[in-house]
Amino acid sequence: MVPMKEAKITASNAGQKIEKFVKKFLPEAPLGFIYKAFRKKDVKVNGHWVKKDHVLQEGDVVRIYVTDAQLQDFQKPRPVEKKPFPYKVAYEDENVLIVDKPKGLLVYGDQKGSRETLGNAVLDYLYYKEEYDPKDSSFTPSPAHRLDRNTSGLVCYGKTDAALKALTDLFKERTEIEKYYLALVVGDVEKDKGRIDIPLKKDPIQGRVFQCPLAQGGKTALTEYSVVKRYGSYTLLRLHLLTGRTHQLRVHLSLLGHPIVGDDKYGDFENNRMVKSLTGNEGQVLHAAELHFGKLDGALSALSGLSIVSSLPSDRQKVIEALTKGRR
């Protein structure tokens, strides 16, 4: 069963918008987490999903889907320290920070309440630069999207409230942004280019995503791919993410018959064991490599027309070299 927290609206907190109430209820939650909760319909009033501008009335019952560990993490402040950023900064201006997340690092806390996260490193960095004051509770810089723990690559943060909202809308609407990934997959992919159009649905209890017809609740999921290099038993693909479903690339490639190397949820488990014994690799060899921005204005105007590119990390390159030795 999906974990849920409940609060009853009293006369003292009636009349405010639900978004404001949730921010107060989870004061340490990244805004990206809150915005995503509304998008996923994980915030309900009297049993019904509501939009962020819904005005609460006395007696309303608010339900928020959040784990016990997340609730503890989001209600208890983590001390912020002035520290240089320990990872690569791919782009930065006064409104936006784009960073290169290494494999194995969470974007923000998980169900275990981990606090060694990319988000915390960003807050330390912006505090170090005196661009963020932890005593000011009106806004906390947050990610506009997320990557799985073992997916490396580019993550965008809003340094201002206006920028974060604009980035969140940008990733949701997808009309002025294109996202590309690199993935090493099992097998020799037959076609040089292709398009995967398979609707997907998430099982929130199992935490897995599966193929599901639209008529049965599946959501449209589109992925384009092209071959970067063939290595006989493996293929390096460039993936264009046209929709943003959970685990979309991992599931689509598995359904294509070419799972991502190291994927412990949808992959070839026998191959994963062989890869680990040979290279020490754990987790999917998947990298968020490119962000291409269209015509933007307002808080995102400096990004207009830019392309941000992240090279495949050295640890991923070493895995490819070890697996494809003699097949270059």
Structure tokens at 36: 């995503």
**CA 84 → CA 112, 118, 163, 177, 197, distances in Å?**
26, 13, 22, 29, 43
Burial of 327 (0-12, 13-18, 19+ CB in 10 A): exposed
Thinking of the domain 177-323, which architecture would CATH place it in?
2-Layer Sandwich (3.30)
The CATH number given to 88-167 is: 3.30.2350.10
Any idea where the domains of the chain sit in the sequence?
5-75, 88-167, 177-323
pLDDT, tens digit, 9 for 90 and up, residues 232-247? 899 999 999 999 898 9
- Identify the active-site residue in 42, 73, 124, 148: 148
Annotated catalytic residue 148: yes
- What is the fold of 5-75? 3.10.290
Write out pLDDT tens, residues 64-94.
Answer: 888 776 776 676 666 889 999 999 999 999 9
- Cβ(168)–Cβ(161) under 8 Å? no
Average model confidence (pLDDT) across the chain: 89
What pLDDT digit, counting tens, does each position of 272-328 carry? 999 999 999 989 999 999 999 999 999 999 999 999 999 999 999 999 999 987 444
- Residue 230, C-beta contacts closer than 8 angstroms, at least 6 positions apart: 188, 189, 236
pTM: 0.78
Alpha carbon distance 318, 167 (integer Å): 33
- Residues 97, 141: contact at Cβ < 8 Å? yes
135: exposed, middle or buried (Cβ count in 10 Å: 0-12, 13-18, 19+): exposed
Asked if the domains 5-75 and 88-167 are classified in one and the same CATH topology, the answer is: no
Beta bridge partners of 33: none
